[in-house]
Amino acid sequence: MTQFPQSFPGTRMRRLRQAPWARSLVAEHVLTPADLVWAVFVHDGEGRIPVASLPGVDRLSVAEAALAAKRARALGIPAIALFPYIGPEGKDDEGSGALSPDGLVPRALKAMKDAAPEVGLITDVALDAYTSHGHDGLLDEDGTIPNDATVERLVEQALVHVGAGADVVAPSDMMDGRIGAIRYAFEEEGFTNAMILAYAAKYASGFYGPYREAIGSAAALKGDKKTYQQDPANSDEALREVALDLADGADMVMVKPGLPYLDIVHRVSTTFGVPTLAYQVSGEYAQIMAAAQNGWIDGDRVMMETLMSFKRAGAAGVITYFAERAAEKLG
């Protein structure tokens, strides 16, 4: 056996890093536009309206949303996640606007499907954009969120969405039992192929602030959401949530937020072996954009690095406001 000097490294890890072709050849994970879901806000008006806390993100009219669907198709982005901005005039205590077949989301769905039928459309099932109190469900006089009464409303909302063309409904409310109730309703109403992406592990996070501004719920929110969203201290609990949602008929599951919860993404994907998505939420996006605008980081480089981190953790896909920009870089 050859005897090397004490200082001689038998293995030089840097050999495979010395050229771009070598790094590409041995890369353990690959990020493509097909890994991205484009998070898009829609509003009931004309044109595009910038979201101040999300530089580079606009609320889109229905017509602009249809153009975004065509843009996603051209870039190879497989799906768009749709979130509505509802002004104060469209809110009430019951969130009744969420149930209208002629509402903003159904009209946007129809326009986007007509424009680019190949692009998957994912809708948010929750009442927070429509309620005057800003909660994801109904609100009792004592300040509690009634679980079962809220689930009934969410089932109605989900049926409206699939009836208008949604391919996937994504209940983000964190009410107990809502996945099973929606799945049962879909089967009863003949929507057997409608998919459910469960926000299975959604944490009560401080990273949602810019999103709440974007959908118009920030000023309305009374109190917090800690009685129904998960405690950031818990990880085993997330596995229980995922197991319940899968047993109730979820096709895919999601972890939200993303970067602060990569450990949860990894545990979920490895434990269950099911399609696991991560949501790179508004606060994560805003931090990167703010630092880039101040010249403190290379924004594009950090964008791509963070998206790759989700793949490395085991995510099958990432919902992100960076989707269009990242797909352009990857193209």
Q: Which residues are known catalytic residues?
A: 202, 256
Helix (H, G, I), strand (E, B) or coil at 255: strand
Half-sphere CA count of 37, side-chain side, radius 13 A: 27
Please tell me whether the peptide bond between 84 and the residue prior to it is cis, using omega within 30 degrees of 0: no
Residue with tokens 């793949």: 311
DSSP H or E stretch at residue 320? strand 317-320
Both ends of the chain: CA-CA distance in Å?
A: 49
**Which own/partner contact pairs does 113-117 have at CB distance under 8 Å and 24+ positions apart?**
113/69, 113/165, 114/66, 115/66, 115/67, 115/69, 115/70, 116/66, 116/69, 116/70, 116/72, 116/73
Please give the annotated binding residues, written as ranges: 241
Known binding-site residues for Mg(2+) equal 241
3-state helix, strand, coil in the chain (%, to 5): 45, 15, 40
If you ran DSSP here, which 8-state letter would residue 284 be given? H
Residue 274 tokens read as 């099911």
Torsion of CA 169, 175, 179, 184, to 10 degrees: -110
68, exposed or middle or buried, with CB in 10 Å at 0-12, 13-18, 19+? buried
**Cβ neighbours, 10 Å, residue 293:** 12
Block residue for tokens 């996603």? 72
